[in-house]
């Protein structure tokens, strides 16, 4: 089902920059297939959330909120590849959190011998992203798709955050770094982050390509992020040494 034209009423410039959900790899994400492929690369089973646990986390997050439209705050790949149907998108900003490459990755974009890092939302100096509105009658279907992707394994916690938009303040569900999860390592110096990202490669490609993709899409969306700029510069220097 194509996204409705009215979804881009506030920001028509975003329409060519956001993928059709029906074409997204994440729309029909096969978690068991990914687990099998990870196992073939030597990763032990048990790294992901069982389906029942993931559903319990989703239901807990939505408790008391199913009777109204739901906003989702996207700060990473969800911005350009949301894989969910929505009826409105707004540029949005939170002062509470910032992007951080603090998610330890020894499978998707790294290995146990050479781990990489992926992005999360953690306490920081602010983050600009996109907010998507899901109508109430589509919440069950769309949040199941969303959580199958974002809660595939420990690392994120469902959190509601206040966002500032040009059209007014909204409260949105997002996925914040879970400091109780072993894969969240928030105190890695940025120089070490750069070293890890420069050299790691996993099932879905290199950590460098992942970071480069984030940077490219932020540029296309006209979103500035000083931390990402600094990290990219350090990664380029690290790769130049090889």
Catalytic positions, written as ranges: 150
Q: How many residues does the chain have?
A: 242
In this structure, what token pair is assigned to residue 54? 């993931």
Structure tokens at 118: 């992926």
Axis-axis angle for helices 51-62, 139-150 (nearest 10): 130
Q: What are the helix (H) ranges across 72-189?
A: 139-150
- Sign of the torsion angle spanned by Cα atoms 157, 101, 17, 208: negative
Ordered DSSP codes for 170-228: EEEEEEEE-TTSTTB-TT--HHHHHHHHHH-EETTEEHHHHHHHHHHHHHHTT---HHH
Q: Which two tokens stand for residue 99?
A: 């992007």
Phi/psi zone of residue 168: left (φ > 0), alpha (ψ -120 to 50 degrees), beta?
Answer: left
């Amino acid at each position: 089902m194509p996204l409705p034209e009215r979804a881009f009423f506030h920001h028509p410039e975003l329409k060519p920059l956001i993928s059709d959900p029906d074409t997204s790899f994440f729309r029909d994400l096969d978690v068991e297939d990914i687990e099998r492929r990870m196992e073939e690369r030597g990763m032990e089973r048990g790294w992901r959330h069982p389906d029942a646990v993931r559903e319990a986390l989703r239901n807990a997050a939505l408790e008391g909120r199913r009777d109204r439209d739901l906003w989702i705050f996207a700060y990473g790949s969800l911005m350009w590849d949301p894989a969910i149907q929505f009826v409105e998108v707004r540029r949005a900003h939170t002062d509470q959190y910032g992007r951080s490459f603090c998610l330890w990755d020894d499978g998707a974009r790294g290995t146990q011998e050479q781990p990489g890092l992926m992005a999360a939302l953690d306490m920081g100096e602010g983050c600009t992203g996109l907010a998507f509105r899901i109508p109430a009658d589509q919440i069950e279907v769309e949040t199941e798709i969303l959580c199958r992707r974002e809660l595939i394994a420990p690392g994120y916690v469902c959190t509601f955050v206040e966002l500032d938009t040009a059209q007014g303040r909204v409260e949105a569900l997002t996925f914040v770094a879970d400091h109780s999860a072993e894969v969240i390592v928030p105190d890695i110096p940025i120089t070490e982050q750069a070293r890890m990202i420069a050299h790691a490669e996993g099932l879905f490609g290199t950590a460098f390509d992942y970071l480069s993709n984030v940077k490219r899409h932020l540029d296309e969306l006209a979103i500035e992020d000083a931390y990402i700029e600094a990290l990219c510069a350090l990664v380029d220097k690290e790769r130049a040494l090889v």
